[in-house]
Amino acid sequence: MELTSVLTIAGNVIQGVQVLLAVWGAYAVIFTLRQIKRRRFGSDSETESFLDTLRSYLEESNYDAAVRLCDEPRNVYRAIPMLARVAIVKRHLSSARLRQAIASRFQRDVLGVMDNQRSTINTIAKSEPMLGLLGTVAGMIAAFARIGGSDKVSTAGLASDISLALTATAVGLLVAIPLILCLNVIEVRMRSLEDTTLEGVQIVLEDLDAVAVS
């Protein structure tokens, strides 16, 4: 098999990999955004309503009802109820150990999956331009090999090699740039989720302390 044919096949394979990575990256973006939405309340009023209801149970020392509230289908996947449940169930621990248990659960069950997907998006965004460069190099080598290997060069074949080279770079950039923008959006929303969750959990801890003192 001639070198130009091998390089052309390699270029096509690289573009195929780029497309697969683009689909994977798009899936990771959609999955992460849905996870963030699933982990938070729809509005501040919903958050306040949950915290007020939970406070009323805690003031009555009705811990079973408080746990059931956190386990309701509408709340079970949300970050604040999830961590509030940990705080209630492990309320007998010291303050330091309780906060450590909450932080561990938050990192593992809330942020962990999203961090993995964020790393995947970041890796794909960085890999796509590199794959595009590799495809460009393969296409240009094929073009020069075609020129050097024959006195009579096929214009169509040469144009095809150059087109393959440029397409690889274009695909890499067209995939990487939107992924980087989406990654920034994800990071902003994750920080917002973290801030609102920690604020809500702090309120729960204060309510528990108030009940313990009384």
Total-model pTM: 0.84
Q: Residue 164 — very low, low, confident or very high, per pLDDT cuts 50/70/90?
A: confident
Question: For 83-133, how does the pLDDT look when each residue is reduced to its tens digit (9 = 90+)?
Answer: 999 999 998 988 889 999 999 999 998 899 899 999 999 999 999 999 888
Question: For 50-93, how does the pLDDT look when each residue is reduced to its tens digit (9 = 90+)?
Answer: 999 999 999 998 999 999 999 999 999 999 999 999 999 998 98
Query: Is 212 a residue whose pLDDT tops 80?
Result: no
Backbone phi, psi, residue 91, to 5°: -65, -20
DSSP class per residue in the chain:
--HHHHHHHHHHHHHHHHHHHHHHHHHHHHHHHHHHHHHS-SSHHHHHHHHHHHHHHHHTT-HHHHHHHHHSTTTTTSHHHHHHHHHHHTTTS-HHHHHHHHHHHIIIIIIHHHHHHHHHHHHHHHHHHHHHHHHHHHHHHHHHHHHHT-SS--HHHHHHHHHHHHHHHHHHHHHHHHHHHHHHHHHHHHHHHHHHHHHHHHHHHHHHHHHHH-
Question: For 184-207, how does the pLDDT look when each residue is reduced to its tens digit (9 = 90+)?
Answer: 999 999 999 999 999 999 999 998
Question: For 10-63, how does the pLDDT look when each residue is reduced to its tens digit (9 = 90+)?
Answer: 778 888 899 999 999 999 999 999 999 999 998 999 999 999 999 999 999 899
